[in-house]
């Protein structure tokens, strides 16, 4: 959940640590010991990366009002959700109908939007917990089941009924994920309404003052 600035800063520090450690080893030691310059520099880079990353995570979690355990939990759920999206996207090449392709594509887009929102504002995770724990994993499992059923070489009544049931369930999940997205956006929409109401009130007061001044 750390942004690109944190990434660049961390690796810039690591490079400086690497070059400093390698240079000091090479300059201050002679003979076979100088061969350790690069390994020692690499070790310093690795240790520096671990320490800097931990510091950045702690700073970021405090900044957004989360405990370290909460931050790690959300980070792990985001990572898991991205792997679910990759699995969902793999179904594109397996489905055999345009309708199924569109449905999976729509669910993938919804999932990406929700993940991006939580990535930007981790506290929104708690408004869409069910999406991470149930809705997205179910979408992956059902889409995989659907593609397997469509590959049945000998269609039967049971297969047809199972396909129809899976289609309906996937559609219901899509609607549920749309509700998840609305939940993730709800606080932003409410804040926007408040800002609009405030702007309207300020504009009305300004008009009243101008009207009084004109009189």
pLDDT tens, position by position, 193-211: 555 655 655 665 565 555 6
Question: 74 and 54, same structural domain?
Answer: no
Summarised one tens digit per residue, pLDDT across range 80-98 is 999 999 999 888 777 777 8
Summarised one tens digit per residue, pLDDT across range 90-142 is 887 777 778 888 888 899 999 999 999 998 888 899 999 999 999 999 999 99
Over residues 1-10, mean pLDDT:
65
Question: 17 and 117, same structural domain?
Answer: no
Tokens standing for 186? 């709800």
> Which residues form the domain of 37?
1-63
The pTM score is 0.69
Beta carbons within 10 angstroms of residue 52's beta carbon: 18
Based on the structure, what is the number of domains in the chain?
Answer: 2
The radius of gyration of the chain from alpha carbons, rounded to an integer in Å, stands at: 27
Instruction: State the residue for tokens 């996207």.
Output: 89
Give the three-class secondary structure for 151: coil
**How many Å apart are CA 75 and CA 101, to the nearest integer?**
29
Question: 42 and 99, same structural domain?
Answer: no
């Amino acid at each position: 959940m750390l942004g690109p600035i944190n990434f660049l800063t961390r690796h810039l520090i690591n490079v400086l640590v690497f070059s400093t450690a390698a240079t000091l080893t090479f300059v201050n030691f002679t003979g076979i010991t100088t061969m350790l310059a690069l390994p020692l520099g690499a070790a310093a880079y690795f240790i520096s990366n671990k320490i800097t990353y931990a510091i950045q995570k702690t700073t970021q979690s405090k900044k957004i009002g989360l405990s370290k355990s909460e931050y790690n939990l959300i980070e792990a759920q985001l990572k898991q959700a991205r792997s679910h999206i990759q699995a969902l996207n793999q179904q594109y090449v397996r489905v055999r109908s345009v309708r199924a392709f569109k449905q999976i594509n729509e669910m993938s887009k919804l999932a990406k939007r929700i993940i991006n929102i939580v990535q930007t504002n981790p506290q929104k995770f708690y408004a869409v917990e069910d999406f991470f724990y149930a809705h997205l994993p179910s979408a992956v499992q059902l889409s995989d089941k659907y593609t397997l059923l469509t590959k049945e070489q000998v269609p039967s009544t049971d297969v047809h009924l199972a396909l129809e049931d899976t289609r309906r369930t996937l559609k219901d999940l899509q609607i549920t994920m749309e509700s998840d997205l609305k939940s993730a956006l709800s606080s932003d929409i409410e804040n926007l309404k408040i800002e609009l109401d405030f702007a309207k009130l300020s504009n009305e007061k300004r008009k009243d003052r101008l009207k009084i001044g004109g009189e």
